[in-house]
Structure 1
Amino acid sequence: MLKFYTNVVLSLLFFFHYASAITSDGLSLLSVKSGVDGGATVLSDWNDNDDTPCHWTGVTCANISGVSDPCVVGLALAGRNLRGYIPSELGNLMYLRRLNLHDNNFHGSIPDQIFNATSLHSIFLSGNNLSGELPSSICNPPRLQNIDLSHNSLSGTIQKFLGNCRELQRLILAGNEFSGEIPAGVFPELANLVQLDLSSNYLNGSLPYDIGQLKSLSGTLNISFNHFTGKLPESLGDLPLTVSFDLRHNNFSGEIPQTGSFTNQGPTAFLNNPSLCGLPLQKTCRDSSSESPPGTKNFTPATGVDGSKKGLRPGLIVLISLADAFGVALIGLVIIFLYRRKKDSNECSCTYKVRFGGNQKSKLCSFPCVSGFPTTDSEAESEKGDVVSGGGVSGGGGEEGELVAIDKGFSIELDELLRASAYVLGKSGLGIVYKVVLGNGIPVAVRRLGEGGEQRYKEFVAEVQAIGRVKHPNVVKLRAYYWAPDEKLLISDFISNGNLASALRGRTSTVLTWSTRLKITKGTARGLAYLHECSPRKFVHGDIKPSNILLDNEHQPYISDFGLNRLIDITGNNMSSGGFMGGGLSYLKSTQTEKVNNYRAPEARVSSNRPTQKWDVYSFGIVLLELLTGKSPELSSPTTSTSTEIPDLVKWVRKAFEEETPLSDMVDPMLLKEVHAKKEVLTVFHLALACTEQDPEIRPRMKTVSENLEKLRT
């Protein structure tokens, strides 16, 4: 009996020690771990004998005034394959500001208790299987700014209590099962709303007229793929001019108003609303005066003397049918002939889709059609440029190397490449780049990747094939590759007018007027959006900066160097040996002083993080700021630093806007003469600041950025 009491006392002592060893936030998180399937594996470092949870996976802490221990302010467990119900104990984290559980397998309803965490300002639960209605307590946190519940199975109606989220900036409910009408009175309360996405639900009825009071809205107003009816409210025209509409696949009717923001929309904004008419649709509205006036005879079939209706004779019907069949067959043969002839060069199907193909099955990707895409190989050859882009297809992997052309319109022999005149363009961690002039006088860029990687031949092939299928007028075109155990080369178009970095620093003859800068930003955005949305692998570039944006003589931009990091990893990039193809060129002895890459997103500077498309969005935003201000974000060595280099360009611009600094003190002095561009400059500033948000979840997609840039006149 004494032994029994001893064990009880020891157990109680252990419990009290455990309870006092960890903070209350830690206890709440441990209940999350125990209540979620997969938590024991994913959250293996969440230990109950730790003093604090602040170093646990996905947990962020901060010191709060008046609280002795650091408090949990962030929980990010996105894409961890966690299953089960969302634990209500999360509501005990009173200082939790950011909850990110998107892309898991949570099911059931969203617990009301979560919103007891009154410090909450962002909640991301997209990509789960949550059901039920929106909790009525969702607006309890007074500073709630971001709600993303997209791509779940939530249902019910849009309730008027959403208007209580007065600090809300982003409301994303796309891809759920919400139905019913949107009540009036919600939108006027959301004065700070920047993004609204209600697409792919079952919402119906007419749009409330007060939707035009969302004066802070930017980007895209997306209510596509619903069942909205009635006329489009003219108040939509009161939204900011930079807002894009996506009203596709609804049942709106009547004439599209021609006021305000309506005049800035393209036809894609209104597609698949059968009863809509007027500009920009190619469907005129039928006026009552165009109907047949009274007394006009209607066409009726002729009748015979016996009163029966006359019809076509059977023989004539057969002849007409045969003629129709022959005509259809002839048209089909012509279409097949034209398709085969242009299959390898046509990338754009001008029904506001971009087509890409090659040897894979052709596939359509919803993205605005880019005009000016080369339709023949000769036209493609006329748009050449500067540094290489990336990969190809491998030919063998044997001891002797093989040169393989990826593009069918490109022909080159290994002997010709060896004999060609060439000189070094530059050297970096991504290999040496040479300009090589072929026998026909056409220059190409050749990148030497390295000497290793012979054991990873198939891996190299897979990567190069994926890169080789990328075809876009604003992405450098890969033409061929060379594989041998001791040498790997990539042959790409040579772009003739240097890169944007050189143009910004006055090292080329390019004069960066506002129209030129806008042309460069639009083309770069189109190319990046294609890589993100339409390319075979939906690539992440990972290193967007001015030196990787090449310019031709018409100032058309080309994105280079995408996909190279993976290839460099495969080949090893052993740069120790000099020469090219067995010593044909001298080794580049001097290299540029290494600079800190301040174009990279904050999360990209953590080596353990995997690249995401939002990294590219941030980098593109920095490029925009540099084009606008003329100031470089790079940190140079003390001997090369200049007054135009600003270590944190984003903070500098944000502070200038907060202090209402005159625009003339912020923009590049070269732009001051173009007073007419003030409105466009301000719009691009706001886009750049949206791209450079610290929180990657808040940054827009490149497709949205590109669509907004396209609305600005060049």
Structure 2
Amino acid sequence: MGLNLLNNVFLSEIMEWANSVGQREVTGLLSLKAIWENVPPSWNGFRDPCGDRWEGIACNNTRVISITLSSIGLKGVLSGDIRQLSELQTLDLSSNKGLTGSLPEAIGNLAKLTNLILVGCNFIGKIPDSIGSLSNLIFLSLNSNSLSGSIPSSIGNLSKLYWLDLAENKLTGTLPVSNGTKPGLDMLHSCKHFHFGRNQLSGSIPPQLLHENMTLIHLLLDNNKFEGSIPSTIGLVNEMEVLRLDWNSFSGSVPSNISNLTEVTEMLLSNNQFTGSMPDLTGMNQLSYLDMSNNSFDTSDVPSWFTALPSLTTLIMEKTQLQGEVPESLFSLPQLQKVVLKRNKLSGTLNIGSAVSSQLRSVDMQNNNISAYTKRPEDSNVKVMYVFRLDTNFTIIHACNTIYNCSLVGNPYCSDAISGERYCILPQQSNISYTTPPQNCAPSNCDSDKISSPSCHCAYPYTGTLVFRAPQFSDLENFTHYKDLEIKLSKTFKSKEVPVDSVSLSNVSRGLSNYLEMTLQVFPLDQDRFNRTAISTLGFMLTNQTFKPPPDYGPFYFTANGYTTFAEESAPKLKKILSMAAIIGIAAGGAALLIALCVVAIICFRMKRPPKTVERDNRLGLPSTSSWMSAGSTSSTLPLAGSRVFPLEEIKKMTNNFSESNVIGSGTYGKVYRGTLTNGQLVAVKRAKQGSPQGDLEFKTEIELLSRVHHKNLVKLFGFCLEKGELILVYEYVPNGTLKESLSGKSGIRLDWRRRIKVGLGAARGLAYLHELASPPIIHRDVKSNNLLLDEHLNAKVSDFGLSKTLLDVGKGHISTEVKGTMGYLDPEYYMTQKLNEKSDVYSFGVLMLELITGKSPIDRGRYIVREVRNAIDRAEDLYGLHEFLDPGIGLGTSLKGFEKYVNLALCCVEESGVDRPVMGNVVKQLEDILQMAGLNPYTDSASSSGAYGDGNSRHLYGDESLYGYSGQLPR
């Protein structure tokens, strides 16, 4: 009898322990550890990966939600045991070239996965069909492996997918599209990035793939085996920014409506078999880089639209059947850097003109029929561009008078009489190379394999290759580009508090495929090497596109070299000399000993611990303050993580006994007071009215929710008080009041266009965190300008969670509940069906977006803002014809860059049907794009009055601090 009781006690405690640490997940990680080499030393032993903080593992309570092990030299395969990690949201194993084998079908069991990043490994075989089961996937990067077979049509099921990168593999077959019985890529309406270059894909582009509901900004199909004509449906994808179809076997005419792609900045159609008339690209005012070389277009005069592309930096039209004279006005385009028109039938006189672009570097007219060249007056004593180096290895370009090189080799102009003129000599390949110069110091002579950093310290850098797939510029000799890139890299790394001293770029080159490649070295701060956490963090930031390069660099990817010289001591590897029988014997003996010790400890503990008697507050069902405080204490820590219990006397002291002079807000719930903690920190004290049952419930909801969610765009709860019938919450003090007060002019804060985008972005990030990273998800249910607070930098913080609901049954997708919220912001679908889901918050946020630009309440003098904007919008007009609706404080009369895209997004959020609205994560991405269009970096610019925005700390769009403070941004 006693033994049975003892066994029951033991089994009960063991089961409690197993449930608390997510034993299946421990098993899954131990299985991966058993087949991987070079795992971090912290993985040794059969310990709890969450409680013991295994390197590269991030948890939410006891559940593993992230594995980020980039660039640490892992070897082995990715086994089917990965299925055990059912809560996993991020898997990044990039740049571990020792990882090989095929991807397991079991990867489709990771239902909560949002980021799958396996860049730069050596995976082989087919992409499993089961990948189409990852319904929450946002980021899929499998590029730079050796994957083969066709693209699974099941990827079309990934409705939340934003980034799809399958480039640099060995994929074959066609681009799959849906046919009524199976899905296809045409169903990925939210996907911005199709990166399929450098594969062996074939067939034609299905017309069905491209349609008006696609939001693609990058379509990269270069260096494949595609054939057939470009479908005319390409003109429907009007958000396109980069189009690469070069190095294929496309034929037929280029559709005339390709000029509808007015947002395109880079378009490469070169090295195909196009025929017919060259398309008229008039109106493509953003076009910067154009290459249509080596095609068989009909013979035609130099088109007039060449000179009507104001953003053009590079024009490459080699062997395209052009004839006639080149217009002088071409060379005066303000951004022009390079013109290549060789191997055509150009004739007459070449006149560069006197108004030549100051950025022009190269004019290549070889092998044409040009008979004369009109020299500029200063050409008579011109000196050719040359290069010299300083002792610091910093290369400087120097040019006298003429800043461009012009080649007329192979033209009648270069007759024997003047064949020695420099224009008639084959230009030599530039040997200009860039290496980051030292920072006002002398490079160190380093021992061993260490390298001298730009700050002249010897260290082991983290190295790899940055590859930019479609840069807008071609003047590689302009070192300003690389300095800007270095500054952005350093700023991004340091904003994440990664211990980075400096970065270095070198070996810059542009190959045949027009990819710009360079070596990146990242040097550690205050020591000579990085630890594993820093390496994985750096790798994750570069592979999941947390780092945003300058806009003229375009899409990129990064592959790292393995890092081996880690800062911490590696635990010695145990030799595999024990037989399986010996291992089993040792394990069994150890387990028996452990069981005996556990039983003794449990019995002793249970004999000593007092009975559980917890006083409960009658109204809330929460423990009262006294049950969490020992006798004589003034404060204590609540079992709810991060919340403090304040005694009523302390609350009175901090608010001067609830003095009216400290009131900073009031409402139906009661009043909010400014208070001061004993350490001098300001807080906001919310005191509920006595006797309100509704206030009780909202009070309890705020405690339960805010105690478990933490994000920079959510107001922070310090604690609460329940004494003597009082319901008091203590929040962080947010000094600039509500957004409503700023929009009404009450606060005196001026919100211009960019500040308003930034405020909206902050609110969206907070809501995206609640919807997509809180576990279980949280629906705010009362998104409005009165519940959005602005801190000292005008960063937005979502507040007031009294009406919020937790989505416990995620599979069901909604909660059936009575309708609550604020009229004007209320989702009509929720109002009609009483079914609440995340899209109800999206609707309210869309109303908030319209309120941000109009400054008006959602219902103003009987006019509903959503209906008014819908009825008035005219997409053919400037600012969509909404001038009369806009708040003058937004900066009317200045350029509201990104305005139209902002309005489109707002109207998408307030669609009648929830299924037609975007998820908050996608709203965040689009607002980041809009802010970037408006001239600010959405991750680094601060929100000070000087025109910068934010707190200077770059964060992931959700800001999940369990993933090293972020889990990646979604890039352009």
TM-score (norm 2): 0.35
